[in-house]
């Protein structure tokens, strides 16, 4: 299975866009998304210095636009992507690029949202001096206990030995004076404590805008930063994108989901390298491809063909699938088991694992065509559970 991932803020480097903009098609598409964002992104990706592109309101639109246009370069015919890509995921702001690539939202909607997201997060960061520090190594439980003692949030959990702490500068200074045993601290060059309660004002702003965003169920399953669950509901994708501004990025759980899905290949959109590097350390046996420059596109396409099996969500105009959000044992809801039809939002059961118990609902409702699992079956993320015939569809 092939998974495409999009990097988050901090992956950008000065001049990384220069070779890409030599392609007239890329440059034209990039100009369009720059217009939507209201920023000269070509300038920021080719001529601006590291300090300038570190600014939240610049870095975020720059990354999302690059990821979206690079994906179109990789798959000139989007239908090819649906035939090869099994799932998508994005780290932090990269989740917007992933959502647009999966067709949950349009590229233009993604650029408006990321433009407003960047501005709102920059304003929230300016309200209180905050920051982030990478905590590398150490015992996981001890690291988390130390962060809690200092009132810090584990804002990014990127796998064993890779946790990013976020909070006020005073809290980070206390961490530096009293670090976890055998851990190395590296202050990050970011504008604030992203993915913490300090970003709550930005959540409120984006939530108001999201009310007017039309969404679709993704054509490719999206692995959520919030908890690593496989999401196939458009409204749920949007809610999670809004909420993740002030909640931790659980990339460790995203990688767990990739393992459960049976991923064999991961390709990272430019500016690539961070997420494939994490995957190499944590997903042994999974091949990775960091797409950095356009001269790699032919090799990248060959990589996609080697690992591609297509989306595990198969949609048609006449029926809908309800799929499992996670790995575990599926228990059918008693009322749904023998029901000939289900209302929108009706519970169909839950998936129980050693970590939690996740309820599953019928987001579309309609006539029950067939159950694809039985009570007590072990299920994987994205596995079809139930086929429904929506009311009003002939």
Mean pLDDT (whole number) for 332-350: 94
331 is known as an active-site residue: no
Fold that domain 2-124+197-307 belongs to in CATH: Malonyl-Coenzyme A Acyl Carrier Protein; domain 2 (3.40.366)
Mean pLDDT (whole number) for 246-259: 96
CATH number for the segment(s) 129-187: 3.30.70.250
Domains 129-187 and 320-389 share a fold: no
Average pLDDT, the chain: 93
Q: For the chain, what are the domain ranges?
A: 2-124+197-307, 129-187, 320-389
The pLDDT, as a whole number, for residue 80 is 81
380 is known as an active-site residue: no
Nearest to 132 by CA among 197, 191, 75: 191
**Residue 160 pLDDT > 50, yes or no?**
yes
pTM value?
0.85
The pLDDT, as a whole number, for residue 316 is 46
Domain 320-389 has CATH 3.30.420.40: no
| Banded pLDDT at 81 (limits 50, 70, 90) | confident
Marked catalytic residue, from 34, 91, 92, 205: 92
Marked catalytic residue, from 34, 91, 150, 195: 195
């Amino acid at each position: 299975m092939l998974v495409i991932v999009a990097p988050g803020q901090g992956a950008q480097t000065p001049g990384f866009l220069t070779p890409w903009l030599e392609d007239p098609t890329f440059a034209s598409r990039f100009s369009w998304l720059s217009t939507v964002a209201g920023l000269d992104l070509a300038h920021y990706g080719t001529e601006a210095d590291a300090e300038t592109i570190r600014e939240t309101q610049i870095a975020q639109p720059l990354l999302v636009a690059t990821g979206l246009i690079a994906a179109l370069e990789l798959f000139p015919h989007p239908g090819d992507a649906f035939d090869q890509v099994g799932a998508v995921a994005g780290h932090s702001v990269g989740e917007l690029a992933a959502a647009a690539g999966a067709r949950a939202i349009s590229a233009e909607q993604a650029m408006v949202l990321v433009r407003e997201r960047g501005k709102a997060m920059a304003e929230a960061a300016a309200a209180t001096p905050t920051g982030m520090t990478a905590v590398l190594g150490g015992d996981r439980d001890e690291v988390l206990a130390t962060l809690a003692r200092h009132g810090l949030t584990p804002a990014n959990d990127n796998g064993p030995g890779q946790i990013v702490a976020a909070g006020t500068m005073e809290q980070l200074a206390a961490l530096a004076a009293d670090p976890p045993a055998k851990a190395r601290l590296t202050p990050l060059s970011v504008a604030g404590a992203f993915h913490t309660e300090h970003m709550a004002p930005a959540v409120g702003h984006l939530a108001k805008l999201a009310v007017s965003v039309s969404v679709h169920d993704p054509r490719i399953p999206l692995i959520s930063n919030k908890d690593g669950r496989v999401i196939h509901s458009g409204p749920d994708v949007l809610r999670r994108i809004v909420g993740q501004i002030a909640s931790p990025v659980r990339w460790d759980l995203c990688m767990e989901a990739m393992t459960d899905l049976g991923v064999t290949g991961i390709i990272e959109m430019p500016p690539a390298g961070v997420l494939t590097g994490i995957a190499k350390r944590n997903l042994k046996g999974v091949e990775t491809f960091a797409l950095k420059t356009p001269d790699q596109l032919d090799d990248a396409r060959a990589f996609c063909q080697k690992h591609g099996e297509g989306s595990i969500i198969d949609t048609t105009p006449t029926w809908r699938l309800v799929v499992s959000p996670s790995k575990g044992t599926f228990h059918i809801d008693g009322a749904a088991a023998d029901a000939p039809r289900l209302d929108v939002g009706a519970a169909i059961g839950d998936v129980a694992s050693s970590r939690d118990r996740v309820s599953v609902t019928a987001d579309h409702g309609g006539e029950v065509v067939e159950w694809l699992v039985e009570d007590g079956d072990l299920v994987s993320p994205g596995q079809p559970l139930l086929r429904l015939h929506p009311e009003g569809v002939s």
